[in-house]
Every structure is written in structure tokens, then in C-alpha cells.
Structure 1
Amino acid sequence: MKKIAIIGAGIVGSTVAYYLSKSDMTVTIFDEGHGQATKAAAGIICPWFSRRRHKAWYRLARSGADFYQELLSDLKNDGIATDFYDQSGALLLKSRPEYLEELRELAESRLVESPLIGSLSVQTLAEAQKSFPDLAGFDKGILASGAARVEGSQLTETLIEASGFSLLKEKAELKRLSDGTYDVNGQVFDSVLLACGAWLPDILEPLGYQVDVSPQKGQLRDYYFDDLETGHNPVIIPEGEIDVIPFAGGKVSVGASHEKNMGFDLTVNERILADFEVRAQDFFPKITEAIKTRDRVGIRAYTEDFCPFIGEVPGLKGVYAVSGLGSSGLTTGPLLGKMLSQLVMGQQTALSASDYLISRYIKK
């Protein structure tokens, strides 16, 4: 029986653990539980309005959005609750009407390959207020009914629990043994899966590798209300950095920041979050009436060209890595996790891994 170590229990690591639980492999998961991007993520699954010209990235994001339907079906067949995901739609806002029209045309051109987009409709503020009465600050927006929101920490916890594997809350150290196996914190494994995001250089640089992965700090704030039903309200995506993300139970998240050159600093920057709150008031004035708040900080992983990678680490047979997901982690992560499980089991991957070559980003 093959013994596998997974380093990282975020969106990729938890997904690969879930799918490996359907094999005959023995798996141990290592995660220090410090700074993980997924735990600080309130995800919006809505890649179809992206103007990025990187075709491989868009294909991954589009396919990642579609893959959620497969993941949800697999979990439901196992009797696992999937309330971390809600296809509540997203309302995109632009300051100029011509920008809205361009976005609508772009999304409509992608409907054939991405029917998950659902219906696309231009809504006035009055129309939007019928389903979300507390909105303000715009004339028109585009509602994409197929967009969804995901609570990242709930998703990963669900997948880890569903896998049934042990999660060790330890900082992992990888050593190569002379017989071709690997030591992780004193345990010997046949194969190691590196899903540790921005911490990937910490694992591989001691083994003589250069890794094109940099950390980026992200902060958001959750607002809680005791008199507001937010369970089926659409996500609000204004221009700029902030999003307003309603969740069930009277919780609304605002964020998240994209802070470069901050290393692994996890301290809350009150100035940034206060600025987000002021900007969010334009669209959701009721935010000032929240009964309590909670701040979340995590570290994303970015590559130089902002594209993820996946594959076997050059020169380390049986060691596979995924990283560089950036701010699209909750969209692309589950699919990359499934692909990682397929690689280690010798199966054909859902997308061609050659489009996301690890050798472009990791060199001996």
C-alpha cells in the first residue's frame, strides 16, 4: 500500500485528500495552520467576465468553475453536506454604461462553452433591490445567475473530514532518502504532494531549488447582522478591489486586499479595512449597523506570470507540487486538487498538465 504525504491542507490539499480517500493509498496531511489563504478567503466563482489574455489561465478558471458541479455531486453521493457553496448569482457594477455592455457581450460570447453562466440580465437598482433591498449607489448592473460564492474554510474542513485522513498540525520538512523514499517530520513516504501555496520555497529551497512563487497578503472583514437575511442575495462586484459577499446567517464579507512586498506578515491593517468599509458603504449602507465584525488575513501564492502550475518536481520522482493560484484559488483550487490526485494515481488529468508546466517555475 502506497504511503502519501500531503503538505498543505488548503483548497488544493484538502481536495486531493478527498479524492485519494477513494483509492487504496494511506495518506497523512501536514499543515501548520498558520496564514493559509483559504481560511481567509470568501470566494466568488465567476470567472467569465475576466479579460485576461492568458488562454491557459482562463481555461483553468472556466473549467474550475464547472468542476464544482462534479465535486458537489461526489460529496452528496457520499452523504456529505455542501452548504459551503451557494449559486446565488453575482451583480457586476461599472461606472460607465458602455463598460457594462462590453462585459455583457463578453460573457454572452462564452455561454456556449460555459452554460454554467446561466442567464445574463441588465438590472436597474430598483430591480436589484427586489431581491437585495439594502443595495444602493449604482444605476445598472449585470446579473449572472450562475455565479456562486464559497466559504473557503468551511469547504476545506468538509473535504478533510470527508477524507477520513489524519491532519497533523505541524510545520513540515521534506528530506530525500537514499532509497528513493521521502522523510517528512520523521515519517517515511513513497510520494509527497506539495500543496503549501506561498510556503513552497520553504520546502524546496533547502533541497537546492529556485522557486518562482511569491507571497501576497490578503485581508477581509466579516460583518454580522441579527436582522438581515442574506442567504440568497447575489455577490456584489463593484469596480476596484473590494467585493461585497453576503452569506447565509446574516454575514456579509468585504474584501479582499492584494498587498505585495509584505512577506508573511499576518497583522491586521486597520487602515486598509476601514477604507474598504467606507467604499462598501456606497453600495451597502447598512454595513454600519453590523453588531460585530471579524477580520481575516491570509497569504496567497503568485508566480511571475500570475498562472498556476502543477506537476512532478524536476529531479524528485514521486514529489508533485501545485502553487501560484493567486486570488483565483477558490475557483481553480478544487480542479487542480483533482488533477493532482490523478497524477499521483497515474490517471489522465482533467486538463493537460503541460499547459501549466512546473518546470517553468521550479528549477534545480
Structure 2
Amino acid sequence: MTRIAIIGAGIVGSTAAYYLSKYPAYQVTVFDHGLGQATKAAAGIISPWFSKRRHKAWYRLARLGADFYPSLVADLAAAGRETSFYQQTGVYLLKKNEAKLAELYQLAQSRRQESPLIGQLSLHSQSQVTERFPQLAGFEEALYASGGARVEGAELTRTLLDASGASLVTERVDLQVGETTYVVGGQPFDQVILACGAWLGQLLNPLGYEVDVKPQKGQLQDYFFDHLATETYPVVMPEGELDIIPFAQGKISVGASHENDRGFDLSLDSAILAKLETEALSYYPLLTAAKSKAQRVGIRAYTSDFSPFFGQVPHLPGVYAVSGLGSSGLTTGPLLAKNLVDLLVTGECLLPVTDYPIDRYIVKR
């Protein structure tokens, strides 16, 4: 029996635990201290096809990450798990300069051949939009993609961990290198997966590594309504940080901020939340009628060039890491985790590790 420790129970750690559970020869223990996890504070949008980032490896990862979701959902459904955390309700893209929508329409059309998940693409007037999302305002035209989806990060990770059957230890741990094994939380392990996001440096610095991973604070606000059938509403993506993400049972999420200068601060910033709310109200004035609201804060991980990485940690055989996912973590995390498990188990994976080189971001001093 091979003993594996996974440090971090977010989207990467929980997905890795789930896919490792398909191999009876592996015994998995997941460690998570429970504070600041980006996934628990995330309301994700799975719609990478409008991105104009020139980083081809990143777009390929995001595209394949979106394509991977139906397989992940089907695997969980086949195991009898509830999968309402993921819904393809479609997505609306808004631009202040609406002339840019036609350009984005052509870009997305050119990407449909390799990504049929995009679904139907069309330009809609405001009156057409409000048939799907009543009382949405502040624009004249929007670009619609029927394949766009939303995902509730906390529900997804909880489902994956439950389905994995892995032991979960809720404490902060470090990584120690023994003579023949690694020690995590006082227990010996043969292999370790570091899925701890922005906290990766805190684990590897004591072992003599420089780690190019930084924390990015994200805040969002959830609004709760009575008598709104929000489960059918599409996601709305205006320009900037703001997204409006409807979920089931009258819940609409607004956010999230991208704060690169706050370290690991998990306190709520009312000024930032108020700014997001003011911008959201210009598109959806009905927010003022919410019966209640709640706030979420999490810490994302990003690298100096905003690129993710994965693979075996240099000079630590059997220790693997994934980090740097940034705000696209819910899109790219499951696919990266699945590929990491494939690499760990078979030595091979679909994604070229050279496109996401770990030794560029983790260097032994």
C-alpha cells in the first residue's frame, strides 16, 4: 500500500484525492487547516473562450479544463453523487464599448471547432437578454454562449472529498524529509502532493527552496432572494473584476476582487465590497431587494508571470506540486489535478509538463 499525503483540500487537492481513490493500491490522507482556501470562497465561471491572453499554453489549459468538466461531472453522477454544483446555464459577456462584442464573437466562433462545448453563440439585444435574466440593465447588446457554466467551489470540493473516501485532517502541517519517507502531521508517507496554493512557499522555504508564488486576496458577496428562479439565469460577465453569478435557490454572487497587496489578510474590506456592489447595481438594480447577504474571502495563488505550474518538486522524488492558478482555479484546477495523478501513478499525462514547468517557479537554494 502506497501512502500519499495531500496538503490542501481545495479544488486541486480534492480532485486529486478523488482520482487517486480509483487506485486501490493508494491510501490517501488529506490535510487542510481550513482558513483562507480560495475554492471555498469562489463562485466560478467556466467560460474561457473569450480570453485574449496571448499565452498559448495557458489558453490550452483553460480550454481543456472547461472541456474536462462534463467528464468529471459524469464520473461523480455515475457514482451516485449530486452534481448541481455545476450547471451550464450559459454566459453573457458585456462590454462598455459594445463594438468589441462583434470582434469577440468572431474570436469565439474561430475557437468552436476545437471547443464545441462553447455551444450556441449569438448577439442579443437587452430585451432578448431580459427574457433569460429578468431586470438586467445597463447595456444595449450582449454576447451569449450557451455552453458557459457556473460552479460552486465549496460544494464541488465537498462532493469530491466525500466521494474519495480519503481521511481529512483539519490542522496546519509542515513537510519533513525523512530517511526513507516524508513526514506530514507526524505521519510517514511515501509520496506527497502539495496543493496548498499560496501557502506553498511556507512549506518549501524551510527546506531550502525559493518559491515564486504570491497571495492574491479575493472578496465576493452573496445575495439571497425569495421567489426568484435564479437556477436558470445565465452568468453575466461585464468588463473588469465584476461578475454576476446566479445559483439555485435565489442566490446571486457578486465579485470577486483581485487584491495583490494584502498578503494573507482575511478580513473583510467594506469599501471594496461596496465598490463591487455599486458596479453590480448598475446592471442589476434588484440587488437592493435581497432579503439578506453574506460575504466570502479567500486567498488565490499567482506567479510573477501569472502562469500555473505542476510536476515533481526538484530534488524531492515523490513530492509533487500544483500552484499559480490565480482566478482561473476552478476552470483549470480539476484538469491539472487529474494530470498530476496520472503523472504520479503512470509517469505520463496528457498535458506537456514542459508547458507548465515547475522548476521555473520552485528553485533549490
Deviations 1:268-320 (A, max 9, x none): 00011111111101111100011111100000000111110000000000000
Whole-angstrom distance in 2 between the partners of 1:40 and 1:283: 23
From the superposition, tell whether residues 34 and 131 of structure 1 become closer, same or farther in structure 2 (CA, over 3 Å).
same
Moved over 4 A (4+): none
Equivalent residue for 1:158?
159
Normalized against structure 2, the TM-score is what? 0.98
Where do residues 296-335 of structure 1 align in structure 2 (5 Å cutoff)? Answer: 296-335=296-335
Partner secondary structure for residue 158 of structure 2: helix
Equivalent residue for 1:289?
289
* Superposed displacement of residue 255, structure 1: 0.2
Amino acid at match of 1:2: T
Whole-angstrom distance in 2 between the partners of 1:133 and 1:187: 54
Equivalent residue for 2:59?
58
Equivalent residue for 1:34?
35
Partner secondary structure for residue 310 of structure 2: strand
Whole-angstrom distance in 1 between the partners of 2:343 and 2:176: 21
Equivalent residue for 2:173?
172
Gaps of 5+ in 2: none
1:109 aligns with 2:110: yes
Partner secondary structure for residue 320 of structure 1: strand
Q: What is the total number of aligned residue pairs between the two structures? A: 363
Whole-angstrom distance in 2 between the partners of 1:100 and 1:362: 40
Whole-angstrom distance in 1 between the partners of 2:301 and 2:277: 25
Q: What's the Cα RMSD here?
A: 0.7
Deviations 1:206-247 (A, max 9, x none): 000000000000000000001211011000111121000000
Where do residues 11-50 of structure 1 align in structure 2 (5 Å cutoff)? Answer: 11-24=11-24, 25-50=26-51
Whole-angstrom distance in 2 between the partners of 1:168 and 1:212: 27
Where do residues 76-87 of structure 1 align in structure 2 (5 Å cutoff)? Answer: 76-87=77-88
* Superposed displacement of residue 97, structure 1: 2.8
Whole-angstrom distance in 2 between the partners of 1:57 and 1:131: 31
Where do residues 115-264 of structure 1 align in structure 2 (5 Å cutoff)? Answer: 115-179=116-180, 181-264=181-264
Gaps of 5+ in 1: none
Whole-angstrom distance in 1 between the partners of 2:110 and 2:358: 31
Higher mean displacement: 349-358 or 328-337: 349-358
Whole-angstrom distance in 2 between the partners of 1:63 and 1:341: 16
Normalized against structure 1, the TM-score is what? 0.99
Identical amino acids, percent of aligned pairs = 61
Amino acid at match of 1:169: T
Whole-angstrom distance in 1 between the partners of 2:37 and 2:135: 32
* Superposed displacement of residue 347, structure 1: 4.5
Deviations 1:27-71 (A, max 9, x none): 000000100000000000000000000000000000000000110
* Superposed displacement of residue 348, structure 1: 2.4
Higher mean displacement: 207-216 or 346-355: 346-355
Amino acid at match of 1:119: Q
Partner secondary structure for residue 60 of structure 1: helix
Partner secondary structure for residue 263 of structure 1: coil
Equivalent residue for 1:279?
279
Higher mean displacement: 274-283 or 190-199: 274-283
Deviations 1:88-132 (A, max 9, x none): 000001122321111101100100000000010100000111111
Amino acid at match of 1:8: G
* Superposed displacement of residue 350, structure 1: 2.2
Deviations 1:188-207 (A, max 9, x none): 00000000000000100000
Whole-angstrom distance in 2 between the partners of 1:61 and 1:168: 31
Partner secondary structure for residue 205 of structure 1: helix
Deviations 1:130-167 (A, max 9, x none): 11112111100001000000000000000000001111
Partner secondary structure for residue 97 of structure 1: coil
* Superposed displacement of residue 73, structure 1: 1.2
Deviations 1:336-359 (A, max 9, x none): 110111111024212112210100
Whole-angstrom distance in 1 between the partners of 2:9 and 2:77: 21
Partner secondary structure for residue 231 of structure 2: coil
* Superposed displacement of residue 81, structure 1: 1.2
Partner secondary structure for residue 273 of structure 1: helix
Whole-angstrom distance in 1 between the partners of 2:238 and 2:252: 15
Amino acid at match of 2:56: K
